Structures are given as C-alpha cells and as structure tokens.
Copies of this chain bind each other. A is one copy, B any other.
Amino acid sequence: MTGLDRTLIAGLETFRGLSDQALERVLVHARSARHPKGSEIFSQGAEAESFFLLLSGHVRVVRTSPEGHQVIARYINEGELFGIAVAMGRSTFPASAVAAVDCVALAWPNREWAELQALFPAFGASAYQTIGARLQETQAQVMEMSTEQVEQRIAHALLRLVKQAGRKAADGIEIDFPITRQDIAEMTGTTLHTVSRLLSAWEQRGLVRSGRQKVVVTDAHGLMLVAEHRRRD
C-alpha cells in the first residue's frame, strides 16, 4: 500500500551507494505527506517521533525564543534530511519546520533510525556528516555575526540562498521560494527595516532586483564584493 517507489530516493546523497533492494527496505516504513505552503511540519518543543526527508519544496527551520523572537536557523532543500532530533539524542524538536512552499516529505518513525543505521552504515555516516556540516555552518554564522556588519551579513545570506536555491531568471538568479524582508532579517539578526533599506540601495546600484516576497540577484559578483568588504579590518 505504500506506493513509494525507490526512484524517489535513488540518487540522493543520503542514500548514495545503496542497492535497489536496500532502497526498498529503507522505504518500507516511510510515509509520504504533502505539506501546504505555510503549514508546520513539526513544532519546536514537541515530542520528536519521526525524522524527515524533503522530497520537493523548501522548508524553513525556525527557532523561537521564550520572549517570542524568531530566528531562521536554515532552509532545507530537496533531498535533505531534517527534523533528525533522534540523531542528536534529543526527544523533542529544538526548532519548528514550516513549508516555505507546497512540499512533499517522507517521514520515518524514530525507531527506524537505529535500524537503518545498523543495516546501512553508509546511511549513518552520511547522516552524521550532515549534522557535522550543519555544525560547521552554524559556527560560521556565529563568526559572521561576530565580525561582520549588517550589510555584509545580508549580502552573504543572499549569496548563500542563491547558491542553495537559485533559479535562473531573465536577468539574474532568483531565489526559488517566496521570501520576505522579515525572513531575511530573521536569518541575519537584523530588522526588516534595515533589510528593506539595503535592498533598495542595492537595487539602485544594480546588484539585485526585488519585489514582494521575491529577490533576484542580478550581479552576483558585485554582491560578493559587498559581502567581502570589511569595515572593521
């Protein structure tokens, strides 16, 4: 009854090197679900009973502080694992996941984690590499926030988004999902006002073209120069 075909996940980095048979096994306990844009896939603090893999769409991972401040920890791209609290020995989700667009994701019960890891060591290794990579990225983000001005941080964030979720547009590269000034502010630790001002300025200089929930980087190289420019050298 699953109807899940192994071609869904064949070719994904996470399952690289697994045989067709292995892929079938992986999918046995997986359930696929559609998550409409804006819906919460899981909720910060909730009991983590499953882990997920994004088949299509884009997911925003958001942490909310006790005081209600939101911070976007990362965007998840197609083919990535997310909500893997189980891999970090956590029983609750440390953040919420929200579908940035209509999404399709696979979900496995946590108990499958140990199982799959034992059956397919390559899967375990790849998963832990993912966590390691995220630790690196997050530490890089701390460095950025410690040493860079807001302008550089936003430029870096846009370049990262374009790299991870860029789609060729007529006059540049467009970020492949709707993103507000507020979102960008929450990624970079600033306010939507400042983001708005900077995007306007950059638009004048021909670096980007932006509109309602939309950003197109028209001069990636120019933006890189902005990102590299240090003032506190």
Residues of A with Cβ closer than 8 Å to B? 63, 65, 67, 69, 71, 73, 87-90, 94-95, 125, 128-129, 131-136, 138-139, 141-143, 145-147, 186, 189, 230, 232-233
Residues on the B chain within 8 Å of A232, using CB: 69
Which of B65, B128, B186 interacts with A87 by CB under 8 Å? B128
Known A-B contacts A67-B230, A147-B67, A230-B67; A131 and B135 likewise in contact (beta carbons under 8 Å): yes
Q: How far is the CB of A181 from chain B (nearest CB, A)?
A: 15
Q: How far is the CB of A52 from chain B (nearest CB, A)?
A: 16
Q: State the CA gap A65–B90 with chains docked (Å).
A: 31
Assess the B65–A131 pair: CB atoms within 8 A. no
Q: Which residue from chain B places its CB closest to the CB of A141 in the assembled complex?
A: B142
Q: How far is the CB of A47 from chain B (nearest CB, A)?
A: 17
Rank and list the top 7 A-B pairs by shortest CB-CB distance, nearest first. Answer: A88-B132, A146-B189, A89-B129, A69-B147, A138-B138, A145-B145, A135-B135
26 contacts between A and B (CB under 8 A): A63-B139, A63-B143, A65-B147, A67-B230, A67-B233, A69-B143, A69-B147, A71-B142, A87-B128, A88-B128, A88-B135, A89-B133, A94-B136, A94-B139, A128-B131, A131-B131, A131-B132, A134-B135, A135-B135, A135-B138, A138-B139, A138-B142, A145-B145, A145-B189, A146-B186, A147-B189
Residues on the B chain within 8 Å of A125, using CB: 89
Question: How many copies of this chain are found per oligomer?
Answer: 2
Q: State the CA gap A138–B135 with chains docked (Å).
A: 7
Assess the B89–A132 pair: CB atoms within 8 A. yes
Q: How far is the CB of A160 from chain B (nearest CB, A)?
A: 14
Q: How far is the CB of A88 from chain B (nearest CB, A)?
A: 2
Q: Which residue from chain B places its CB closest to the CB of A191 in the assembled complex?
A: B232
Q: How far is the CB of A6 from chain B (nearest CB, A)?
A: 25
Residues on the B chain within 8 Å of A135, using CB: 88, 131, 134-135, 138
Residues on the B chain within 8 Å of A87, using CB: 128, 132
Q: State the CA gap A29–B135 with chains docked (Å).
A: 28
Q: State the CA gap A69–B144 with chains docked (Å).
A: 10
Q: Which residue from chain B places its CB closest to the CB of A64 in the assembled complex?
A: B143
Known A-B contacts: A65-B143, A89-B128, A147-B189. Give 17 more (CB < 8 A): A63-B139, A65-B147, A67-B147, A69-B146, A69-B232, A71-B142, A71-B146, A88-B132, A89-B125, A95-B139, A134-B135, A135-B138, A138-B139, A142-B145, A142-B189, A146-B186, A146-B189
